[in-house]
A and B are shown apart, each in its own frame.
Chain A
Amino acid sequence: MSGRDTDASVDEDHPLSAGESLALIERQQAAAQRRLGVNPALFYGPWGVAYLLGFGSIFLTYPTAVPVRLPGQVAVVITGVLFAVATVIFVVTGTRVGRGLRGPSRGAGAMYGWSWTLGFCALAAVNIGVTRLGLPDDAVTLLWSGSSLLLVGVLYLAAGALFQDWFQYGLGMWMLVSGACSVFADVPGNFAVVSLAGGGGLLLAAAYFALRPPCRRLRHERDRVHV
């Protein structure tokens, strides 16, 4: 096979020095990770906005020290729209990231994605079931906000363990603490906690990933090849 002739026709094949080779490896590795992965800011940002503004708007429907009052229906619409948008972005981003790939990582990613759906379906079933017994309104409110944040926290812990990502694990712990605190803040303080601590935490996480240099983004210990 006259491989040399074929090589000569490829303009990229001028001989590289060792330094050029290492630089090329680093560039290519960063580019591949950036294009194959997804910036976690895309996952955290929309949820952070939904938590901050959605639960923030619900907080403002109560008479509080804040001199702004929102009608209940407005808050429900704001929260519903923001959560729907965040869900769509989450599903679309999660689906696109696995495009053209198959193998163990894809399977693990799909299972993790489904654990959000399954978890929240089960949470809704449990909460509705308990509410049926006739809980006071405030208890129902606290049950939903507290249990939702608890589940979010646990799922971030799972992601941290799955992807060997301490940052995500730490975010999970923060969400667990926020969820527990929200219940003790009573109504409507729970909405302030979920909005500011939960949403604020997610937005800080999004900002961290958005502002991180691209080459460091998504650099998990996925293989043994290190540059």
Chain B
Amino acid sequence: MSAIGSMSKPLPQPLPEPLPELDPVIHAQARLRVTVALATLATGDQITFPRLQQLLEMSAGNLSTHLRKLEDVDYVQLTKTHRRRIPVTYVSLTLTGRRALEDYIAALRRLLTPPTDQPGG
């Protein structure tokens, strides 16, 4: 177990530069799909849970789980109401969520864009 003591030297870095940080909440396939689908609605528009479920072809349980996680970080807003005495849940992307998706896409683009020389440098 002397290996622990020999860790003082920095290990060679496999990557030359640090990767831009990707939002871990959005950077999961299912939640990314939910966020993108909600972002196609205009700001202020809301969609019912069943229509969103149908749109994404996800199971209700799966969608609920991911919506809860997105709600925990204030990316989506769930509004529970009644229509003709039937409970209805409306889902919408918050401004925070919309901005988070924009930032996430910008980070992806930075990751995919090869570094270029500074202009005029």
Q: Which residues of A contact B (CB under 8 A)?
A: 3, 6-7, 10, 12-16, 18-19, 21-22, 24-25, 28-29, 31-33, 35-36, 99-106, 222-227
Contact = CB atoms under 8 A, between A and B. Distances in A.
30 contacts: A10-B30, A10-B66, A12-B29, A13-B29, A14-B29, A16-B27, A18-B111, A18-B112, A21-B27, A21-B32, A22-B108, A25-B105, A28-B32, A31-B37, A32-B37, A33-B40, A35-B54, A36-B40, A100-B48, A101-B51, A102-B45, A102-B46, A103-B46, A104-B44, A105-B41, A105-B44, A223-B39, A224-B98, A225-B102, A225-B105
A24 B42 contact: no
B55 interface: yes
A225 B39 contact: yes
Given A25-B105, A224-B98, A103 B40 contact: no
A12 B28 CA distance: 8
Contacts of A103: 41-42, 44-46, 92
B46 A101 contact: yes
A10 B121 CA distance: 48
B96 interface: no
A33 B55 CA distance: 10
Interface string B17-37: 000001000011110110011
Given A10-B30, A21-B108, A100 B98 contact: no
A102 B89 CA distance: 11
B37 A100 contact: no
Contacts of A13: 28-30
Contact of A223 (B28, B43, B55, B108): B43
Contacts of B47: 36, 100-101
Contacts of A12: 28-30
Contacts of A99: 51
A10 B67 CA distance: 14
B27 to A, nearest CB: 7
B14 to A, nearest CB: 16
Contacts of B52: 100
- The 10 closest A-B CB pairs, nearest first, are A100-B51, A103-B45, A18-B111, A100-B48, A32-B40, A32-B37, A28-B36, A12-B29, A225-B39, A105-B42
Contacts of B55: 31-32, 35-36
Given A7-B28, A12-B28, A225-B98, 19 more contacts: A3-B69, A10-B66, A12-B30, A16-B29, A22-B108, A22-B109, A22-B112, A24-B36, A31-B37, A35-B54, A100-B51, A102-B45, A103-B41, A103-B42, A103-B44, A223-B42, A223-B43, A226-B105, A227-B105
